Amino acid sequence: MNVKLNGNKALHKTFLSVGIHNKTYMINQPVLASFEEDFKNMTKVHIKINKKPKETNNGWNVLGVGDIEAEYEEVEGSIFLYLKS
């Protein structure tokens, strides 16, 4: 089984396919996702990246993930992308 649940967190051990703004992203690495009631409705997705995302016209390009419409914030060495509504 790819998913291991612990409280309101789900560890996707090998990959995660997630839909954001009518676009599907395939993340082929371990992913830690937070959720409220249903683990398929994620509120946060945590991935490890080796290179900073590159800014695009509408958001950011994350290597190995793709272009994401989001706001960028960097805090103490961690990068946060907040999805645009």
* Mean model confidence pLDDT for the chain: 91
pTM: 0.81
pLDDT single digits (tens) 30-65: 999 999 998 888 999 999 888 999 999 989 999 989
pLDDT, residue 50, reads: 87
What separation in angstroms does the CA of 74 have from each of 39, 49, 67?
Answer: 27, 13, 18
Q: How far is CA 37 from the centre of its chain?
A: 18
